[in-house]
Amino acid sequence: MQPILSVHNLNKYYGNQVGCKNMNLTLYPGEVVGVVGESGSGKTTFINSISGNLIPDSGKILIETGNETIDFLEISESLKRLLIRTELAFVHQNPRDGLRLDVSAGGNISERLMSIGQRNYGNIRQTIFKWLDKVEIDKSRADDFPRTFSGGMLQRLQIAKNLVTSPKIIFMDEPTGGLDVSVQAKILDLLRKLVRELNLSVVIVSHDLAVIRLLADKIIVMKNGEAVESGLCDQVLDDPQHSYTQLLVSSVLQV
């Protein structure tokens, strides 16, 4: 099996300031890779740099589409935009960053469908209903504006909006941040289900180790812009080798 995404020696600086340095990642189809670390460790810079939101200073990003390998940093801007609208998806921590608030919920979901060329109103409408149902939002809300939705609903809508075109790779930056725990449980359960059902390949950033343990197969632990440890998720959390990972794991409160 070939990795669907591989990142080699990626660097991103803000002036003299390190954003992330010497980062590597291998993501296989159906796999979830978690990126953890404290605030300011470079998690978000890293995920933004590999998803097209930021332009890294150096490194290589290879995406396997099935028939060809795309060198993500070398392709034209228009092809990159197309990929971002179709094969890649990005779920933001704040759903308001990933949704159009002055477009109906259904309109938000249909945007990506239209960008891959779907034009039949009836079909699009059906797909919208199917996805609202998947993320447990009542069909009757399809024509409402997202601004009338609760935080948890907005996040589920953002997930539906991103997954509707079955993207190959999904990036998530703290998808459950800022949600209360019962809503968080609902979203985590939803994500777990979708990962299995649709065989999704995901890179997820979170500072919450419990979230990562639940979702991820592999893990990267970041500190000061660098990966200090990486490997099998449960192994790194249960038998951490680096002093920083040991500190991180032992700092979690037991409920």
In the complex, which residues of this chain contact another protein (CB under 8 A)? 1, 26, 28, 31, 185-186, 188-189, 192, 196, 214, 217-218, 231-232, 234-235, 238-239, 241-243, 246-247, 250
Q: Which is nearer to another protein, 88 or 188 (CB)?
A: 188
Judged by CB, which is closer to another protein: 140, or 250?
250
Minimum distance from CB of 153 to another protein (Å)? 17
- How near is the Cβ of 255 to another protein at its closest, in Å? 12
Using the minimum distance from each CB to another protein, give the nearer residue, 1 or 55: 1
Between the alpha carbon of residue 156 and those of residues 94, 159, 165, 207, the distances in Å are 11, 5, 15, 20
In the DSSP assignment, the letter for residue 229 is: E
Beta-strand pair 5-14/58-64: antiparallel
The residue (of 16 and 251) whose beta carbon lies closer to another protein is 251
The 32-36 sheet, strands edge to edge:
88-91, 169-173, 201-205, 32-36, 218-223, 226-232
Nearer to another protein, 96 or 186 (CB): 186
Picking from 9, 20, 30, 24, the residue whose alpha carbon sits closest to that of residue 169 is 30
Distance CA 95, CA 202 (A): 18
CB of 110 to another protein, least distance (A): 29
Question: Least distance from C-beta 241 to another protein, angstroms?
Answer: 7
For residue 207, the Cα-to-chain-centroid distance in whole angstroms is 14
Taking residue 166's Cβ as centre, other Cβ atoms within 10 Å add up to 13
* DSSP 8-state code for residue 11: E
Provide the minimum distance between the beta carbon of 250 and another protein in the complex, in angstroms, as a whole number.
7
Residues 6+ apart with CB under 8 A from 2: 28, 64
Provide the minimum distance between the beta carbon of 31 and another protein in the complex, in angstroms, as a whole number.
7
The nearer residue to another protein, 84 or 214, going by C-beta atoms, is 214
> What pairs with residue 58 in β-bridges?
11
